[in-house]
Amino acid sequence: MAPMTTFKGDQFDRSLFESVIKRRFFFTESFEIYRLARNFHGDNRGLYDYGPPGCALQANIVDVWRKHFVLEENMLELDCTVITPELVLKTSGHVDKFADWMCKDPVKGEYLRADHLVENVLQSRLARGVDGPLKNSSKLDEATIDKYNDILAKIDNYDGPELGDLIKKFDIRNPDGNGEVLPPIPFNLMFKCTVGPSAAAPVYLRPETAQGQFLNFRKLLEFNQGAMPFASASIGKSYRNEISPRSGLLRVREFLMAEIEHYVDPEKKEHQRFQEVVGLELPLLDKETQLAGKTTPRSTSIEEAVKSKTIDNETLGYFLGRIMLFLLKIGVDPSKLRFRQHLDNEMAHYACDCWDAELLTSYGWIECVGCADRSAYDLTVHSNFTGTPLVVKETLRTGPIKSERWQASLDKKLVGPKFKQDAKAVQASVEALKQPLLESLAAELNAKGVVTVDTATPLADGTSSVELSRELLTIQKVTQLQTVREYTPNVIEPSFGIGRILYCLLEQTYWHRPQDAARAQRPKVLSLPLVVAPTKVLIVPISAQSQFVPIIRRLSSRLRALGITNNVDSSGASIGKRYARNDELGTPLGITVDFDTVANGSITLRDRDTTSQVRGSEDEVLDAVNNLVGGVESWQQITQHLAPFSTQGQDND
Amino acid sequence: MAPMTTFKGDQFDRSLFESVIKRRFFFTESFEIYRLARNFHGDNRGLYDYGPPGCALQANIVDVWRKHFVLEENMLELDCTVITPELVLKTSGHVDKFADWMCKDPVKGEYLRADHLVENVLQSRLARGVDGPLKNSSKLDEATIDKYNDILAKIDNYDGPELGDLIKKFDIRNPDGNGEVLPPIPFNLMFKCTVGPSAAAPVYLRPETAQGQFLNFRKLLEFNQGAMPFASASIGKSYRNEISPRSGLLRVREFLMAEIEHYVDPEKKEHQRFQEVVGLELPLLDKETQLAGKTTPRSTSIEEAVKSKTIDNETLGYFLGRIMLFLLKIGVDPSKLRFRQHLDNEMAHYACDCWDAELLTSYGWIECVGCADRSAYDLTVHSNFTGTPLVVKETLRTGPIKSERWQASLDKKLVGPKFKQDAKAVQASVEALKQPLLESLAAELNAKGVVTVDTATPLADGTSSVELSRELLTIQKVTQLQTVREYTPNVIEPSFGIGRILYCLLEQTYWHRPQDAARAQRPKVLSLPLVVAPTKVLIVPISAQSQFVPIIRRLSSRLRALGITNNVDSSGASIGKRYARNDELGTPLGITVDFDTVANGSITLRDRDTTSQVRGSEDEVLDAVNNLVGGVESWQQITQHLAPFSTQGQDND
């Protein structure tokens, strides 16, 4: 992969980035003081705690999500339990199918996820230019390079036995120690516990929030006063017992999800607000393109993509558009976003089509949002198992529909004695007769008094048809009145991994200011947009003198009353250092109180990204802050009506 | 217990209340369609899903909590994992001590929580006026009644063996079947699972959010730039594997907690903002009052309670006051609130003092918020185990402190040869000498050249003292310079059970309107305050005619732009029925659009609690709504500047 550049064009440096994230306590490995302690040998990877800025960033992303999706469309939000009985997840298919393939290295006692093993080893061989695990393996030839690249492009499409074949064929071994691994076996990814003292009731921690929503479908429909289509939504933790988590926040065992289940009439997958998104251009990487071994997305308007059936239907297209708008709103770099369609073998067991919104990071393209068509799968299996109808009954608006159809019936009293052991087969054959054939048979029966009907299975005498006379068979036209239409809704599911989005956003908004004489290191900045920034405003007095205290308190309290989060830094550090700390925290605005403030009430407002400053009265600056936070004005507009202000290298203090 | 009345004075009817909660989908038992299905025998009680209004109410309570506590005091919010390694919870004491006592009924195969068993049986005997489990048991005499009441008042103070004694002494049996039960055994309340494919790492679902906060103490202090005191906070799910959950939302296995850990200098438990709460009167039920068998709280000002040491310190007093203000803000009935101090045996293993905010419901007084002084317990045990210092180092502001002290030292080269096997005991005795004694010994040594020192253990010759001469012993005054003070902070922990608060709030805001001729049943109302109501405004067109559609859409979109949640009900039901539905949903305001709206643009605004209505232009009414939601005006004030409006019995339609 080519080295990544930040959105400002300088080179992304993951180790510098990670040191900022750690230093500013965005997140940290859980139980870190235990990890460093003696006697702590458990496999406790893939678990992370969010510190204050990470926690605020997460809460802000969730808040935007709720407004953008739930409130905007009056979705019915639910909060269901994480603990889920085995029977529910057995029915949903998760107990049997929610598994990854893993290989054991019997020497190291280590478990490796099979697809990751193949992927890592082939990538490493390509990078090193050799074709085997050992130092004396030979140089890669063109044909092998093509073969490896082909496998990597389709890596998500292999099942366990296929991965086992690849491991054998290419002599793929555990990179840690070069040991051979055993053939892949499935490992269920759900955490299992028991409930209550009797321990008789196995339960799992849910792997997705969706099932709780499906189980409540009947109540939801009733709450919605029977109206269709509608959506439910849930924000909550889910759990996956990953085989061998790596890559920090990108593959974790406990994570926050935000999921929408949009219920539609399978015959009407249009969307009322489709027109609002038709013009949006999405970077699409469809199934066919991937299977051709290519990875470049094609920018396509939603209208065109739905028309050409690249995207199956309007509702799916609508949500892909809404997902893109959401991601851009929170600060995702549009040049590092693509929508990739799942390959057939990659799809979850419940899905019939799926698109992932992927974000580009230093780890490559990361799946952050899935948008799956789950069809009627879940509602059907739960309904079948419990005997509870999970259906929509729609009174036909046009009034009852009169329909005419041909109906064939045999005189049962005569059929038995006449056909004996063949009676059932004859009966079944008559019941199976289709409408168009029935119509012509009716005419024939009327004309000739007898017709020949084919049987599905051979009869006792070896023939496969019977003659049926008018005495035995009646075919007539009947009229039916249908007043209610009953159907199981299909489900379109946009599903968001909040932690992954958060991590990718941090990478995508990170950059370095140019180095200058005053600084030993390039200053680091997180350009988080105001709407998600953990703290909106930093308030700094120029020094710790007591005359600033009442001014600082008043400013903080006025901002709080406006609902604008702010943080006061009265520490002894220089103004420049305090700004630099807050640039790393992603704080977009800074207010400085100095000796002129005491004299004339004016304060300074600083913009994080440009470091430019303006000066005005307390009221003017607070108005400007309120307008910036509310999205009413841009920094550019603010500089047009507030006076510029400059200190000699305050940022370089 | 006397029958409960609602805050409007009519009698509370739990079955009517429950039917509203269920009908309006505030919450429901999880996996309900499975509970009703065949083959579902697991113990899956104590698990609840929140429907749309319950979920919104919960989110609003959490939002008020975050503003009232976290933002108001710049607390450092964290989001830590639920999954917690065994070693962490072993160290914290939860693996050994976080248990309830349970008795098995061997015949029924049922497990009963021991204290609940004793409580239920004695209460039932008092209610029935008999002294035993069987029908032919004798009538209760005064002495037994007193005895039972005394036990019930102290029920939280008994440990397992004591409960066992009571069960034996009073022949307490399983009310279901009258079977004798086995002696109480402890049952750990944590859910256990394993992580990763090796299954070598036992983990638990956290029973509280607190431990994650403690483990991050060092990072938090650093983030806070070393300043003390400060608080961290967490909102998240916790889990308790209850033995036999009953009472709906009040005893559940998965629940949302909001916890604050406020770190203080153990020598300075005052609080900077204490003055803001001193005047508040709290209904206090202290330890002594309860042990005297009484249950009536005493209204006491926080100032007086802290002065008299009823409440141990300022910080504890401050938080009890803030807790009360929070509860009143979200709509708790002040006459149904008390603060009860924990009895000694009732206290969690980590706490040295604890007060519960309890809310009165039809189930009695329910603990909803705990406010515990956890002292330095948790930080100390984690620090000791991991070897990580979890301390505050404070540079003494007054500069280094000079302190003078007497120091005794033995000449080691001479002590060994002289005392041989007694040398260690002599050395220890000298080291143990206290300051005042050292001072007089110094004078004596100076005057006489020899002193007698008592030894803690007898010496080889049977004596318990030695003579030490000036050659062996030196006692001199030394001067020490102390620049840094190091201490482990104490923790004051306000801990909120959001689900319990939500349930109690629903009961406390529920009431019935008087019945009248037009109604078959008394209409039911949830008087949830605007700040927490799931939906703030109902918008209803007088009929489903298309001329109302654009007006309704505009109103809804204008309210949404103001951040005010609203719901449109264009269903065919009468206006009265639509209002009644929303009274049950706790929607405080209703806007009606009718034919006059089309003619002159005026709309009607209805107040849920009084059902009174006012009329004004769209702008006037939206202003009024905005002021009501923002708490700027009351309904009373609105009625003074908007014209009253009345329809003949619209509410009775």
Tens digits of per-residue pLDDT, A430-484?
888 888 889 999 999 999 999 999 887 788 888 888 999 998 999 999 888 888 8
The DSSP H or E segment spanning A446 is helix A435-448
- Asked if A34 and B87 come within 8 Å (Cβ–Cβ), the reply is yes
Tell me how far apart the alpha carbons of residues B330 and B64 are, in angstroms, rounded to a whole number. 8
Chain B partners within 8 Å of A64 (Cβ): none
> Which residue bears the tokens 């693996």?
B95
Checking if the pLDDT of A637 tops 70, the result is yes
Coil, helix or strand for A377? Answer: helix
Q: Which is nearest to B6 in space by CA: B521, B585, B357, B507? A: B507
Searching chain B, which residue's CA lies closest to the CA of residue A534? B77
Tell me how far apart the alpha carbons of residues A125 and A357 are, in angstroms, rounded to a whole number. 29
Q: Which two tokens stand for residue B93?
A: 């004491």
> Which residue bears the tokens 């209002």?
B579
Listed in sequence order, the residues at least 6 apart from A605 whose beta carbon sits closer than 8 Å to its beta carbon are A589, A590, A591, A613, A614, A615, A616, A621, A624, A625, A638, A642
Relative orientation angle of helices A114-128 and A142-153, to the nearest 10 degrees: 150
The DSSP H or E segment spanning A425 is helix A423-431
Searching chain A, which residue's CA lies closest to the CA of residue B209? A49
In chain A, CATH 3.40.50.800 covers 535-652
Burial of B149 (0-12, 13-18, 19+ CB in 10 A): middle
The upper half-sphere exposure of residue B320, i.e. CA atoms within 13 Å in the direction of its Cβ, equals: 35
Chain A partners within 8 Å of B30 (Cβ): 80-81, 83-84, 212, 215
CATH architecture of A535-652: 3-Layer(aba) Sandwich (3.40)
Q: Which is nearest to A62 in space by CA: B77, B501, B497? A: B77
> What single letter denotes the amino acid at residue B603?
I
Q: Which of B37, B55, B202 sits opposite A78 (nearest CB)?
A: B55
Tell me how far apart the alpha carbons of residues B47 and B32 are, in angstroms, rounded to a whole number. 10
Listed in sequence order, the residues at least 6 apart from A557 whose beta carbon sits closer than 8 Å to its beta carbon are none
Residue B651: predicted pLDDT: 54
> Which residue bears the tokens 């006037």?
B620
User: Minimum mean pLDDT among A392-396, A424-428, B147-151, B446-450: which range?
Assistant: A424-428
Residues of chain B with pLDDT under 50: 649, 652-653
Residue B65 and residue A91 in contact, taking contact as beta carbons nearer than 8 Å:
no
**Is CATH 3.30.40.230 the classification given to domain A99-188?**
yes
Q: Which two tokens stand for residue A365?
A: 């393209």
Chain B partners within 8 Å of A111 (Cβ): 196-198
CATH code, residues B14-80+205-379+491-498? 3.30.930.10
Q: Which of B80, B191, B241 sits opposite A30 (nearest CB)?
A: B80
Chain B partners within 8 Å of A193 (Cβ): 191-193, 205
- Candidates 3.30.300.30, 3.60.40.10, 3.10.510.20, 3.30.40.230; correct CATH number of B102-188? 3.30.40.230
Chain B partners within 8 Å of A30 (Cβ): 80-81, 83-84, 212, 215
Residue A134: predicted pLDDT: 62
Long-range contacts of range B409-412, CB-CB < 8 Å, 24 or more positions apart?
B409/B473, B409/B474, B410/B468, B410/B472, B410/B473, B411/B471, B411/B472, B411/B473, B411/B474
The size of the A-B interface in CB pairs under 8 A is: 248
Residue A525 and residue A299 in contact, taking contact as beta carbons nearer than 8 Å:
no
Check residue B615 and give left, alpha or beta (phi > 0: left; psi -120 to 50: alpha).
beta
Q: Which parts of A377-422 fold into alpha helices (H)?
A: 377-386, 412-419
Q: What is the pLDDT of residues A308-324, one digit of tens each?
A: 999 999 999 999 999 99
CATH architecture of A401-482: 2-Layer Sandwich (3.30)
Checking if the pLDDT of A496 tops 70, the result is yes
In chain A, CATH 3.30.930.10 covers 14-93+190-379+491-498
Q: For the whole prediction, is pTM greater than 0.95?
A: no
- Asked if A58 and B71 come within 8 Å (Cβ–Cβ), the reply is no
In chain B, CATH 3.30.930.10 covers 14-80+205-379+491-498
Q: What is the pLDDT of residues A281-290, one digit of tens each?
A: 999 999 988 8
Mutate to test the interface with B, among A57, A192, A193, A246 (most CBs of B within 10 A): A193
Searching chain B, which residue's CA lies closest to the CA of residue A218? B33
CA distance, residue A631 to nearest chain B CA (Å): 13
Complex prediction ipTM: 0.86
Length of chain B: 653
Checking if the pLDDT of A329 tops 90, the result is yes
Q: Which is nearest to B295 in space by CA: B384, B358, B362, B370? A: B358
Which superfamily is assigned to A14-93+190-379+491-498 in CATH?
Answer: Bira Bifunctional Protein; Domain 2 (3.30.930.10)
- Asked if B215 and A40 come within 8 Å (Cβ–Cβ), the reply is no
Residue B134: predicted pLDDT: 62
Tell me how far apart the alpha carbons of residues A538 and A555 are, in angstroms, rounded to a whole number. 11
The DSSP H or E segment spanning B481 is strand B473-482
- Asked if B31 and A187 come within 8 Å (Cβ–Cβ), the reply is no
Searching chain A, which residue's CA lies closest to the CA of residue B185? A197
Residue A30: predicted pLDDT: 95
Q: Which of A24, A55, A71 sits opposite B78 (nearest CB)?
A: A55
Residue A153 and residue A107 in contact, taking contact as beta carbons nearer than 8 Å:
no
Q: What is the pLDDT of residues A235-271, one digit of tens each?
A: 999 999 998 887 788 889 999 999 999 999 999 899 9
Long-range contacts of range B285-289, CB-CB < 8 Å, 24 or more positions apart?
B285/B338, B285/B339, B285/B340, B285/B341, B286/B310, B286/B341, B287/B341, B287/B342, B287/B343, B287/B344
Give the DSSP letter string of B157-204: G--HHHHHHHHHHTT---TTT----PPPEEEE---EEEETTT--EEEE
Q: Which two tokens stand for residue B237?
A: 């799910």
Coil, helix or strand for B47? Answer: coil
